[in-house]
Amino acid sequence: MTKPIPSHIQFPKDFLWGCATSAYQIEGSPLADGAGPSTWHRFSHTPGRVQDGDNADITCDHYRRYDSDVDLMRSLGLKSYRFSIAWGRVLPEGTGRVNAAGLDFYERLVDKLLSRGIQPMVTLFHWDLPAALDDRGGWLNRDIAHWFAEYADIVFRRLDDRVQYWTTLNEPWVVADGGYMHGILAPGHRNVFEAPRAAHHLMMAHGAAVQAYRASGRNKIGLVVNIEPKYPASQSEADLAATRRAEAYMNRQYLDPALLGSYPKELLEVFGDAWPHWPDADLKLIKQPIDYVGVNYYTRAVVRAEPNAWPLGSTTVKQKHHTHMETGWEVFPQGLTDTLLWVKEKYGNPPVYITENGACFFDPPQVEGPVLEDPLRVDYLRKHITAVHDAIQRGADIRGYFAWSLFDNFEWAFGFSKRFGLVHMNYETLKRTLKSSAHFYSKVIASNGAALAE
Ligand code: FCB
């Protein structure tokens, strides 16, 4: 089933190897030094929203330990580190008054990274919207495009002299689908009429921030999307149509407007009456030239038509005898090659970074000894990074790869129950312990891929 690993692998020179995290998931101290609360702070402090009542008040305590954490990154040989900025640390009310201490924190982090030879890749929005903006309608208010551009501009002007890689949004689909369609993520709405509006305003915010960047920035800016390739369960007309709808909803709803300037027509079938008619000027704003596409890949879906299933009229068929992660996601490395080739074909081979890829398997809460063995994660990384290499061999313009995640961390509605880290976190003592996947990844980086074949 899985392909053999070729005996000699080398990635392109200057391939950017990194790890990724996000602010709310690892920082802790969410209200420190004048920061304003986020929707995720509120959500996790609302009983019943997050598994086991967990919240990220402490999580990895990275806000206070960033200095030694960067030394740890250096010891792994990371060339780049992808993290996000908490909007509410910079602008506690979301717009207007700048909180100097918040911006200073990210400046110290960037400077520390550079002093250790690590290139920062900075995401401006990884889901923690200032609560004050949620009170003004959040992603349902069209003005959010301006609010976001105002915030982005402040950060660009402070850090663009040192940050080479910027990202506007992380995974807008998850915000619209989890936050506004199904209500399982912040802000917890369940409303089919809101979801397409939230999605559209996210994309307008992306466009407005890229525009702001062109006015003052000199480096690279992109958009990060999660792509889950969809495979039909059979060749029946019904399954093929269901697969097209699923692909339009999750994968094309974001990349099509950003790169092609239009929405897939299947969205009308998906949303029906709830799909608004958007003015052309909005699509013009959304389609700004970007420097790269960030692709987050975890799994695939095999799609079967199911007329009564809301909202897509389809279900995902579980591949019974395949390995699944603790989240229930199937392990399917070929899907990463297919995804990268799909982006290449459909969008004209843009430069791509795999901005997230990783796996959660059970690891114990406490570790004894210097290393935690995590063979399933090592296997996942080996096969997926090899799948990236395959796509490069087949002509895809892939510039870098970021493992999700550096640490075990606060996994959103799953709380601390799911561990994705290459570095184990003991949440009682906050001790960091390398897993064997961290050692493995470190060797892959040092050998520019050759260690995949060992
Ligand atoms: C992605 C998110 C990231 C993390 C991983 C497991 O959807 O971007 O924050 O939760 O999934």
Strands (E), 22-101: 80-84
Question: Could you tell me the two tokens for 420?
Answer: 């994705």
Write out pLDDT tens, residues 29-54: 999 999 999 999 999 999 999 999 99
Q: How far is the CA of 146 from the centre of ligand 1 (A)?
A: 26
Ligand 1: residue whose CA is nearest its atom 4: 411
pLDDT on residue 7: 76
Q: How far is the CA of 253 from the centre of ligand 1 (A)?
A: 19
Of 171, 228, 330, 411, the active-site residue reads 171
In a domain, 126, yes or no: yes
Instruction: Establish whether 356 is a catalytic residue.
Output: yes
Instruction: Establish whether 373 is a catalytic residue.
Output: no
Distances (CA, A) of 450 to 9, 18, 398, 416, 440: 5, 16, 17, 34, 11
| Residue 284 burial class via C-beta count within 10 angstroms: exposed 0-12, middle 13-18, buried 19 and up | exposed
| Contact assessment for residue 94 and residue 135, using Cβ atoms and an 8 Å cutoff | no
Pocket of ligand 1 (CB under 6 A): 22, 25, 170-171, 174, 226, 296, 356, 404, 411-412, 420
State which residues form the domain around 379. 16-453
CA distance 197 to 160: 31
CATH number of 316's domain: 3.20.20.80
| Contact assessment for residue 339 and residue 375, using Cβ atoms and an 8 Å cutoff | no
Going by C-alpha positions, the residue among 37, 51, 47 that lies closest to residue 86 is 37
pLDDT on residue 8: 85
CA distance 104 to 121: 17
Give residue for tokens 């401006």. 124
In a domain, 7, yes or no: no
Q: Which residues of 160-171 are buried (b: 16+ CB within 10 A; e: fewer)?
A: beebebbbbbbb
pLDDT on residue 179: 99
Candidate from 412, 414, 419, 420 with most ligand 1 atoms within 8 A of CB, to mutate: 412
Candidate from 171, 173, 228, 406 with most ligand 1 atoms within 8 A of CB, to mutate: 171
CA distance 199 to 275: 11
Of 194, 266, 330, 356, the active-site residue reads 356
Question: Could you tell me the two tokens for 336?
Answer: 């990463």
In a domain, 132, yes or no: yes
pLDDT on residue 2: 63
Q: How far is the CA of 280 from the centre of ligand 1 (A)?
A: 32
CA distance 164 to 221: 8
In a domain, 202, yes or no: yes
In a domain, 32, yes or no: yes
pLDDT on residue 1: 52
In a domain, 11, yes or no: no
Q: How far is the CA of 69 from the centre of ligand 1 (A)?
A: 20
In a domain, 411, yes or no: yes
Per-10-residue mean pLDDT of the chain, 454 residues long, equals 77 98 99 99 98 98 99 98 99 98 99 99 99 99 98 98 99 98 98 98 99 97 98 98 98 98 98 96 98 99 97 97 98 98 98 99 97 98 98 98 99 98 98 98 98 93
In a domain, 4, yes or no: no
Number of separate domains in the chain = 1
Q: Which residues of 368-395 are buried (b: 16+ CB within 10 A; e: fewer)?
A: eeeebebebbbbbbbbbbbbbbbbbeee
Candidate from 411, 416, 417, 422 with most ligand 1 atoms within 8 A of CB, to mutate: 411
pLDDT on residue 5: 76
Task: Report which ligand 1 atom has the smallest distance to the Cα of 22.
Answer: 9
Q: Which residues of 72-91 are buried (b: 16+ CB within 10 A; e: fewer)?
A: bbbebebebbbbbbbbbbbb
